[in-house]
Structure 1
Amino acid sequence: MSLTALIDRAFTPAAESVRAGNIPGAVLGIVTADGERAVQWTGYAQIEPERELVSRETWFDLASLTKVIFTTTRILQLVEAGRIALDDPLVTVIPDLRQYDMNAAERRLTFRQCLAHQTHLPAVEPLYTYGQDPNTLRAFILQRVWQSGPPVYSDINFMLLGIAIERITGQALIDQPLPERFSFRPDPKLCAATEKDTWRGRVVRGEVHDENAFALGGASGHAGLFGTIDGVLDFAHSLLDGSALSPVSIKAIRTRESEKRTVGWEGFHPGWHGGDSCSPDTIGHTGFTGTGLWVDFERGLAWSLLTNRVHPSRHKDSGILSLRRATGDQVIALFDRTERL
């Protein structure tokens, strides 16, 4: 079975979800370690205010895939360049973090802890409700007395990492250089629409869906990156062939820092979003808008499912978790069958 025939069958759950009206559109891409790839798509990039078809060239708001494709990768590249070490505290580059309390817990947080979500910081905070001046909001993030709690998956961790990247490079995140087919400033006409947002009073298209990232200027360490399916597959292939990062960094993103987390990524565990057929040596991540990427190093296989499941509203059951799991199980079952032929 060719990869093209494989993806036609693996795409069945997504095509059925679009036909049922659960999601407007979907694009599935698969890539192998030797560079072979296939892409399939169906549905709409936008249904309100006008219907527009999705295509292979549609740009998606990648949401929290920003955390792994951009932020984690950039931090590890800075480690490789000797600018920082993973176990350095953030205050080595953000000395004004909680600057009015030298004993504050935030001043002891390390890059590794933030990347692996092993901090006391909360999952999320509605920062956008405090105003829309990016510099003031950054200052608020740095000086806020954050409520302490057990380690959770936290956007705040990656907001801090984004600020660290800005301090080290001297360049705002929205102006950072990016690989081809990625952007913090995409052409709205090329993008899949996300939510009809009551806060902004419009259908969001070509601007980041995440309210906090929008208020922070359009790009943050946790969200803001846009990309096409081929951009995401290019990135996945660069992890599989080792060209994106050094062997030490690749090992870091594949090694558990906790039961479910590696440096930046989530590792395979029963019941996770990538399906139960993944090898133990699989990492993945999802985005709130309906995006996802999984990399199975043991098989030399990666796949990405991009949807605009929050369009026109997040307040519905899109069935995205079951769709992601069904897609992953289909991809792997068909790939394994192909390998045995």
Structure 2
Amino acid sequence: MKAMRVPYMVAAVVVVVITAAAALAASGAQAHVTGNDEQMVQAIDWAPVQAVLEAAVEDGAFPGCVAGVGTRDGFVFLSPVGAFTYGDLPPLNSAVPDMVADTRFDAASVTKVVSTTSAVMRLYQDGLLDLDAPVTRYLGKAYGVHGKAPIKVLNLMLHNAGYPPDPDPNYWMPAFGCPETAKYHPAENWSCQDKIFAGLLNQTLINPVGQVYVYSDLSMITAMYVVGSVAKAEGIVTPADLIPGCDQGGPGALQCYYEAYVAKHVFGYLGMSNSGFLPRLAEWPLAAPTENDTTYLHRVIQGQVSDGNAYALGGISGHAGLFLTVPDAYILMHRLMFATADDVFANATTVKFFTTVYNVSQSSRAIGWDTNNYQANTIRSCANLSSDTYLHLGYTGTQICNDPQREIFTFLFTNRVYPTALNIKIRQVRQLFNNAVVAAWDAVHPPPPSASGPRPLP
């Protein structure tokens, strides 16, 4: 990944407008403000939104964040607030950095949509991946043991494959037996690559296929291997495209083909130059530190994935492992929100299919994405954004909400797990942040009738 920092001026209330052309430029061209955008910024009172963020830092919900509101024309609000830590020196910095607009965050489960779902979506549109095909088509008959033969790719994306939430034991646990786990400070490498793949093939189910929604990291780990299988079989990715050393010579190396596909055909294609798996060592200090892991890595984590299963996988997984910036996330969200009929990345029809709730009687999930559907989503992390909003959360404190009715998207990237994941104050902050955005935006841009609905959330 290319190391790059964009200078942003940070004031007490930060309102930055970046034109779509600048935000979408792979080179990170300088931002500028257009006349219409200036009028929009002047008309909207973002102070209450900023106040929510500052109060959250003051309350200890997270040490810092980068929050943004994007539109067709760029960011209308972009605010880094707080710092990397509450004052303790991060492992890889000589001083405690303030958050900046392009701080890199361990995206955690936001990886599931930004990376894995984007890859599945593009392969689907290209006619190379059949959502209704059994997973055994891509991973072989050996995958079908223990009742898994009926699982379709679509079941993975809807989280109704019948999987438990996590492997048992987890890959990072001593009971699973990855070589590095025996060490007090395990290295992030691919020495467990084939053992983990074999474990997935032998995975058992807890529910009948397709009948019960259970949010499961195993679904997206499986989808990672499916993407890698297609990319390898179709020659979209070659061995020359792989990270050196990733391919350990066995079937588990499909994870390497997955990483190469998203690096080239998602992040590279869109110009998301500050995001990807396995940031270079020199870039680790640019990432917000996450938790102080006292059970597995035995250190404060910075620049490497904090999810234990993704770490055991060598830092590449379909469920976690992505490092992401808010400006890069904007590039993808803009491409999805305003997809054209002939977009070769994902056209408007494909995007609508992947981001619309699939079976509201079972869950609020779309294909890969979750939704803010008022009927099915009782948590509604995107609060009073429209029921059509598609979204995803990350365990580390990341969130993306795309409201197609208002044509805005919100970002709230934090490292709320620093220094401990026991801090769950982020749950209320998400509600407060998104509702403050809705109030500020709707005061100037009355929402269409389709965006309104029951609003029981404060």
2:161 is the alignment partner of 1:119: yes
Distance 2:50 2:397 in 1: 15
Partners in 2 of 1:239 and 1:10 — Cα distance?
25
Distance 1:8 1:188 in 2: 32
Shift of residue 36, structure 1, vs aligned partner: 4.3
User: What are the superposed Cα offsets for residues 296-339 of structure 1, whole Å, 9 maximum, x if unpaired?
Assistant: 001111011000000011123x3111111111111111111121
Distance, in Å, in 2 between the alignment partners of 1:66 and 1:293 is: 11
Identify the match of residue 160 of structure 1 among 206, 209, 222: 222
Q: What SS does the corresponding residue of 2:319 show, helix, strand or coil?
A: coil
What is the SS of the residue equivalent to 1:205? coil
Contact kept, 8 Å, 1:138 with 1:216, in 2: the verdict is: no
SS of match in other structure, 1:52: coil
Aligned partners of 1:337, 1:238: CA distance in 2, in Å? Answer: 26
Give the paired residue count.
337
- 8 Å contact kept, 1:97–1:106: no
Task: Give the one of 51, 69, 73 matched to 2:118.
Answer: 73
Quote how far apart the aligned CAs of 1:49 are: 3.5
* Pair 1:144-2:203 in alignment: yes
Letter in 2 for 1:114: L
Match of 2:130 among 73, 81, 85: 85
CA contact (8 A) 2:356 2:390 kept: no
User: Secondary structure of 1:237's match?
Assistant: helix
**2:395 matched to 1:258?**
no
| Distance change (3 Å), C-alpha of 1:7 and 1:166 | farther
Q: What is the aligned partner in structure 1 of residue 454 from structure 2?
A: none
Q: Which stretch of structure 1 is more off in the superposition, 325-334 or 174-183?
A: 174-183
Q: Secondary structure at the match of 2:84?
A: strand
Q: 1:128 aligns with which of 168, 172, 176?
A: 172
Partner residue of 1:16 out of 48, 52, 55: 55
Report 1:1-341 matches (<5 A). Answer: 2-3=40-41, 6-47=45-86, 48-50=88-90, 51-98=96-143, 101=145, 104-125=146-167, 126-129=170-173, 130-132=176-178, 133-148=192-207, 150-170=212-232, 172=256, 173-176=258-261, 177=263, 178=267, 179-186=272-279, 187-198=283-294, 199-242=296-339, 244-259=345-360, 260-270=364-374, 271-316=378-423, 318-340=424-446
The residue identity in structure 1 corresponding to 2:203 is R
How far residue 105 of structure 1 moved from its aligned partner, in angstroms, is 2.6
**Deviation readout 1:90-113 (Å, 9 max, x if unpaired):** 1111114435x4xx4312111111
The offset of 1:272, in angstroms, is: 2.9
TM-score by length of 1: 0.92
Quick one: distance in 2 between partners of 1:223 and 1:204?
Answer: 15
Indicate conservation of the 8 Å contact 2:68/2:75, yes or no: no
Aligned-partner SS, 1:314? coil
Moved over 6 A (4+): none
Give the RMSD, CA atoms, in angstroms: 2.0
Distance 1:255 1:190 in 2: 35
SS of 2:366's partner is coil
Deviates more, 1:2-11 or 1:39-48: 2-11
- What are structure 2's unaligned runs of at least 5 residues? 1-38, 91-95, 179-191, 233-241, 243-255, 448-458
Question: Which stretch shows the higher mean deviation, 267-276 or 302-311?
Answer: 267-276
Distance 2:408 2:84 in 1: 27
What code does the residue aligned with 2:201 have?
L
Q: Which amino acid aligns with 2:165?
A: A
Identity of aligned residues (%): 26
Offset, 1:293: 0.1
SS state at 2:74 partner:
coil
**Contact 1:8–1:40 (CA<8 Å) still a contact in 2?**
no
More moved, 290-299 vs 86-95:
86-95
Distance in 2, matches of 1:49 and 1:235, equals: 33
For the residues of structure 2 that align with 1:25 and 1:71, how far apart are their CA atoms? 27
1:7–1:30 Cα contact (<8 Å) kept: no
Any idea what SS the aligned residue of 1:193 has? coil
8 Å CA contact retained: 1:273, 1:324: no
More strand as a share of residues: 1
